Amino acid sequence: MWRLRHDRVVSSQSDGRFAPSPSGRLHLGNLRTALLAWLFARSGGGSFLLRIEDLDRARSKPEHERTQKEDLRAIGLDWDAEAPHQSERTARYREALEQLQAAGRVYPCWCTRAEIRAAAEAPHGPLSVGAYPGTCRQLSAAERAERERSGRPAALRLDARGPEIEFEDRLHGSVTGVVDDFVLWRGDDTPAYQLAVVVDDADQAITEVVRGDDLLDSTPRQIELARLLGLPVPRYAHVPIVLGPDGSRLAKRHGAVTLADHDPERALSWMASSVGLAEPGETVTAEQLIARFDPAGLVTSEGLGGLFL
C-alpha cells in the first residue's frame, strides 16, 4: 500500500456542475445542493453545467428530466450548455475501461450481493467497513474457469492495489481513504457510476465538484481512477445534505418535499436561510445570493442547517 496526496492549485474561477438522475422529481435537499453548486461556480465567475446521469434505464424517464430542469429554473438556476446524457456516452466509457484493461488493472467478479456483504463484514486490514476485499482477484485459474462456466454474468472491478488517498475538501479539510477494488462495469453490461462520473467530469472540464457529503467516501476512488486514466483531478466541496424530521436523509417518504408542494420563492428563501445567506422568511433571488456567497463561511455541517420541517 502507498500513500498519495492529491493537492492542486486551482484558480479562483471554478467550473462546476449538477448531475441528477432522472428517476423522479428533485426534492428540496437535491435543490439546495444544486443551489450551492451553482453559487460556488457563479460566485467565482465560473461556468455551471448540467449532466443527466441516466445509466439506470429502468428508472430514468424523459418526464422526470423535464420536471427536474423546470424546478432548477424555478429557483433561478441556469446552466451554460446543453446537458449531456450518460446513456449516450457508453462508447467513451468503454474506451476508458479498455485503457485500464490494457494496463492490467481490471478483473472479472462473480460475487453476489450477499457474498459481497459477507466478505465486507470480515476483517481485511486497512480497508474500511463495507469495502470489497478482492475476493475474485484472488481466484485461481481453475476457480475462475468454474465461475465462467456457471453462466453468471461477471462485473468488472478495478485492481486498485490499496492506495491510501489524501485530498483537501473545501469544507471537510484533509480527508484520507483507502481505495478498494470497486466496480467499473456492471454484470448487466452497464458502465458503473464511479467510472462514468470520472470520465464525464474530465470531458466537461469540471474543475470543482460540489455535491452532498454522503458521497465523500467515493472521492478517493474517483481521484485514484482519474490518476490511472491520466485525467485531471478537480477540487472538491462536499456540502451537508438536508435531513428529514426523523434525522434521516430527506426523501419522498417525508411527505411534502418537492416544488410540487411548495412555492418556489418560499422554497428558495428557506434554502438561503438554511445556509446563512438570508434571514428566515426573507425574499431573495438566486442572482442576489451570488454577492452574498462566501465559501469560507460554509465550514462545518453545523454551519448548514440540515433539518427541513
pLDDT band at 8 (very low <50, low <70, confident <90, very high): very low
Q: Is 222 helix (H, G, I), strand (E, B) or coil?
A: helix
Residues in the chain, overall count: 309
Look at 228-232, 244-248, 286-290 and tell me which has the smallest mean pLDDT: 244-248
For 32-46, the pLDDT digits (tens) are: 999 999 999 999 999
Query: Rounded to an integer, what distance in angstroms lies between the CA atom of residue 86 and that of residue 52?
Result: 6
> pLDDT value at position 251?
72
For 273-303, the pLDDT digits (tens) are: 988 899 999 999 999 999 999 988 774 443 3
For 257-276, the pLDDT digits (tens) are: 899 989 999 999 999 998 88
> pLDDT value at position 304?
39
Q: What is the mean pLDDT of residues 125-129?
A: 62
The mean predicted confidence, pLDDT, of the chain is 88
Query: Rounded to an integer, what distance in angstroms lies between the CA atom of residue 98 and that of residue 252?
Result: 39
How many CA atoms within 13 Å lie on the side-chain side of 1? 12
Question: Which strands form 183-185's sheet, in the order they lie side by side?
Answer: 106-109, 155-158, 183-185
User: Residue 306 pLDDT > 80, yes or no?
Assistant: no
Question: Which residues are CB-neighbours of 133 under 8 A, at least 6 positions away?
Answer: 119, 120, 122, 124, 127, 180, 181
Q: What is the mean pLDDT of residues 222-242?
A: 96
Tell me which of 255 and 42 has the higher pLDDT: 42
Distance of CA 283 to the CA centre of its chain: 31
Q: Give the alpha-carbon dihedral of 237, 238, 244, 249, to 10 degrees.
A: 150
Q: Which helix (H) or strand (E) holds 202?
A: helix 193-203
> pLDDT value at position 194?
97
Question: Which residues are CB-neighbours of 277 under 8 A, at least 6 positions away?
Answer: 284, 289, 292, 293
Written as one string, the DSSP assignment of 274-298 is HTTSS-TT----HHHHHHH--GGG-
> pLDDT value at position 120?
59
How many CA atoms within 13 Å lie on the side-chain side of 112? 5
Question: Which residues are CB-neighbours of 280 under 8 A, at least 6 positions away?
Answer: 269, 273
Look at 18-32, 55-69, 127-141 and tell me which has the smallest mean pLDDT: 127-141
Query: Rounded to an integer, what distance in angstroms lies between the CA atom of residue 240 and that of residue 212?
Result: 6
> pLDDT value at position 252?
72
Instruction: Enumerate helices (H) and strands (E) in the chain, giving the number of each.
Output: 9, 10
Where do the DSSP E strands lie in the chain?
Answer: 3-6, 16-18, 48-50, 106-109, 155-158, 164-169, 173-178, 183-185, 208-212, 235-239
> pLDDT value at position 254?
67
Q: What is the mean pLDDT of residues 216-221?
A: 96
The pTM assigned to this predicted structure is: 0.89
For 44-61, the pLDDT digits (tens) are: 999 999 999 999 999 999
Q: What is the mean pLDDT of residues 154-161?
A: 97
Q: What is the mean pLDDT of residues 132-152?
A: 92
Query: ∠ at Cα 282 (281, 285), nearest 5°?
Result: 125
Tell me which of 130 and 182 has the higher pLDDT: 182
pLDDT band at 119 (very low <50, low <70, confident <90, very high): low
Q: Give the alpha-carbon dihedral of 230, 135, 55, 101, to 10 degrees.
A: 40
Q: What is the mean pLDDT of residues 231-259?
A: 83
pLDDT band at 221 (very low <50, low <70, confident <90, very high): very high
Q: What is the mean pLDDT of residues 99-121?
A: 87
Amino acid identity of residue 221, one-letter, is: R
Query: Rounded to an integer, what distance in angstroms lies between the CA atom of residue 250 and that of residue 252?
Result: 7
> pLDDT value at position 130?
72
> pLDDT value at position 249?
73
